[in-house]
Each structure stands twice: as C-alpha cells, then as structure tokens.
Structure 1
Amino acid sequence: MRVAADTPDAPRRRGPYRKSGARRREILDAAFEVFSTAGFRAGSLKDVAGRIGIDASTILHHFGSKEALLRAVLEDKQVRDSGPDLESLEPAEVPHGLLKLAERNDRVPGLISLYAVLSAESTTADHPGAEYFRERAARTRDAFRYGFERMAGENLLAPGVSASYAAESTFALWDGIQVHWLIDPDSVRVTEVLRQHLRLITVVSV
C-alpha cells in the first residue's frame, strides 16, 4: 500500500536540501564579513569557517574554491540589489532615489566596506573579482548617465552642468567618499556628502 505524501509516515526528502541551503547562507554571510574587512587576498577560508564554527573543507564542499566563494558573494541578491535603479523614477526624483540608496547602504555598513575594499583590490593582477567590478562600473555609469540625461531634458541640472559630467562626477565622488569613510568612519558621512554634491549639480531640492 502506498503512503500518501501528506501523511506523517511519508518520507521527507527535502530536509537535507534545506539544511544545505541554510549552511550555504551561513557561509555567504560569513564570507561577506571577512571579504568586506580583510579583502579577498588577506581573508582566508579559515577566517570564514571560524566565524561559523566549521572547517574550511566544508566551504570547499559547498563552493569548490575561494574564488568561487567570492563570485557567489558578489552575485548574492543582497549585494546585487544594492545598485541604482533610476529607470522607474521621474526625472525630478532621480536625486532622491540616489539618496535613498545611499541611506539604505548606510544601514548596512558592511556593504559599503565590501565594495570599497574589493573594488580597489580588484585592480590588482589576476583578481577574481576584476570582471565583476568592471561590469558594475559600466552598469552604474550607464544608470547615472541615463538618469541625469532625463533630468537635463527637463532642465533640472544646474546651469553649465552636462548630463555626462553629472554622471561621472557623482559616480567618482560616491566611490571616493566611501574610501574616506573606511579611513575615518566617525567623521565621514557618505549620504550627506552626496546630498551636498547633488544640491550643487541640480536644481532639485534635496
């Protein structure tokens, strides 16, 4: 006689998969913390494993290599969703959208640290995150340019400010101020510096 799938006696085959998924999540979170403070080069699998009380071999079982673990961290939803989404905003809302993103990132300081540390480190030879950060830079620059071009079409940029300059300067300032925040987190406020910049290059009240 077959046992119905929803009876207490039915075999439950999803348990190990749920446990495996939970373990991967723990490893990703620990790797996020290690890479965002020590970087990829200095942060070891032993450091990651030690944060959650496992052996480095367990990490290799789930991810295969340290390079694959880094790629998984960078592709993780909480990291990928941290970029600007300006297409759905009205032109006058673009500065507000950028500030909301900065404020959200301020609440997750590890995310700022991850990008600041790894983006700089990715410029070194044979870094496994190099392609990711090149693509991220191009994607972010395009998003900024699109948002500011729409603002320019509505005469919302300050006199003499082009959409290209607004995009490049905002991207450069944002990345740069994050490095200064890493150096002196008690004195530097990323969102407030960005707010002052947007007040200078646009005519929108922020």
Structure 2
Amino acid sequence: MPEPAQLETTKPQKRGPYRTGVRRREQLLAVALDVFAEHGYAGGSLRAIAERAGVSHATLIQHFGSKEGLLIAVLEEWDRRTVADGLADVSGLDYFRRLPEVIAAHRDHRGLLELFTTIAAEASSSSHPARGFIEQRYARNLATLAGHLREAIDDGDIASMTDAQIQIEVRLVTAAMDGIGLQWLLDPSTDVDGSIATYIDRAISAWRRG
C-alpha cells in the first residue's frame, strides 16, 4: 500500500489528462466560434474548423458528437460569457439603467456577438439546429426584463401597465439592444453605451408618464 506522501504526489497527476481535455475543448470552441461567426452555421464546415484548429475531423466528433453538438456548445459558451452576472444584485428600474453595461461588454467579445447575430438570423428557419436554443434564450431574456418591469410597477416607480403592454415594452428594449449591437458590428464608431443609455432614459420617462 502506498505511503500517505506517495498518495499526495499521485493525486495531481490524475487530474492532468482532464485539465488537458478541458483546455483542448476550450481551444476548439474558440476556433469554431470564429469560423461560425465568419461563415454562419451552413458555411462553417467541420473540415474548415478542424483544419484551422490543427486537429482531425475525428477529434471534433470525439469532443462534440456532431456539427450540431459543436454549434450548441459554442452558443452555450457565448451564453455563459454574456450572462449579466453583475446585474444579479439589482432589480426594478436599476436593472434597466445598468443595461448599457451589458451591451458595452460585447466590445470585448466581438466574435461572440457576430456569432449570435449570424446564428439568430439563420435560426429564423424552423429546421435550423439552433432554433430551440435561440427561442429559449429570447424567452428567458424577455421574462427577466418583464419581471424587473413589474417590480418597478409594484415599487411605484412607474405607472401601471397591463401584461400586454409590459410584453411590448420589453420586446422594444430587446430590439434596441440587438439593433445597436448590429450597428456597432457594421460601424465600430457607433456609441453603444450612449445609444442604449439614451433609449433607456427615454423609456423610463415614458413609463413614468404612463
């Protein structure tokens, strides 16, 4: 039986292959993200991704199972990186006032925003493999915004709204953020922070007036 000291020295070694596998998976995701962002899902072949990553087609299949599996893994990575963790401690109108920070953060992940914009447009087709993911993400986002708008109403910060009015308002907020993000991709001089901050200020003023 190994001595305790021997056991301690062997434990880190068992984690080595796992860490290597995680790093390789992250590298493949980064390459796939670039390829899908540049060419979309249809144009981003596994062969192109494998060649750019310097691995075999079989390696991609080993890690992700299929092209569809790779796409979903890339989108989940985008979702993980862009979740507004910094907004977890705010609610009501404060949540909306902090939204410029969310879209401003995209400047550090241009490829991710390009990918989402491209795939979201492609996923308008019901047969697209990312259709379910995109639908669910928009549904979660709209539900989150609606919840904070209802909090603002309950707190007396803005006028009362019907559920139908709330749904319209949160869709408009989402459309503004998506639209400004697209304009920035086309024209990097776009004032992302200022545009969203201006829109949110105007929306809050309108909500208060009822």
- For the aligned pair, the TM-score class normalised by the smaller chain equals 0.7 to 0.9
What secondary structure, in the 3-state scheme, does the structure 2 residue paired with 1:124 have? coil
Query: Which residue matches 1:185?
Result: 187
Query: Which residue matches 1:194?
Result: 196
**One-letter amino acid matched to 2:144:** A
Partner of residue 170 from structure 2, selected from 153, 157, 167: 167
Trace 1:139-154 onto structure 2 (pairs within 5 A). 139-154=140-155
Aligned residue pairs, count: 201
Query: Which residue matches 1:32?
Result: 33
Alpha-carbon distance between aligned partners in 2 of 1:37 and 1:174, rounded to the nearest angstrom: 21
Preserved CA contact (<8 Å) 2:47 2:57:
yes
Residues 170 and 33 from structure 1, CA distance in 2 versus in 1: closer, same or farther, beyond 3 angstroms? same
Query: Which residue matches 1:129?
Result: 130
**One-letter amino acid matched to 2:131:** A
Output the aligned Cα RMSD. Answer: 2.9
Say whether residues 1:5 and 2:20 are aligned partners: no
Alpha-carbon distance between aligned partners in 2 of 1:102 and 1:155, rounded to the nearest angstrom: 27
Query: Which residue matches 2:68?
Result: 67
What secondary structure, in the 3-state scheme, does the structure 2 residue paired with 1:2 have? coil
**One-letter amino acid matched to 1:108:** H
Alpha-carbon distance, 1:102 to partner: 1.3
Preserved CA contact (<8 Å) 2:103 2:181:
no
Query: Which range moved further: 184-193 or 61-70?
Result: 184-193
Alpha-carbon distance, 1:157 to partner: 4.4
**One-letter amino acid matched to 1:68:** G
**One-letter amino acid matched to 2:82:** S
Alpha-carbon distance, 1:136 to partner: 0.6
Q: Structure 1, unaligned stretches of length 5 or more?
A: none
Alpha-carbon distance between aligned partners in 1 of 2:154 and 2:167, rounded to the nearest angstrom: 13
Consecutive aligned runs of 4 or more in structure 1 exceeding 6 Å deviation: 158-161
Preserved CA contact (<8 Å) 1:84 1:143:
no
**One-letter amino acid matched to 2:21:** S
Alpha-carbon distance, 1:159 to partner: 10
Preserved CA contact (<8 Å) 1:79 1:111:
no
Alpha-carbon distance between aligned partners in 1 of 2:9 and 2:111, rounded to the nearest angstrom: 45
Residues 188 and 160 from structure 1, CA distance in 2 versus in 1: closer, same or farther, beyond 3 angstroms? farther
**One-letter amino acid matched to 1:202:** I
Query: Which residue matches 1:111?
Result: 112
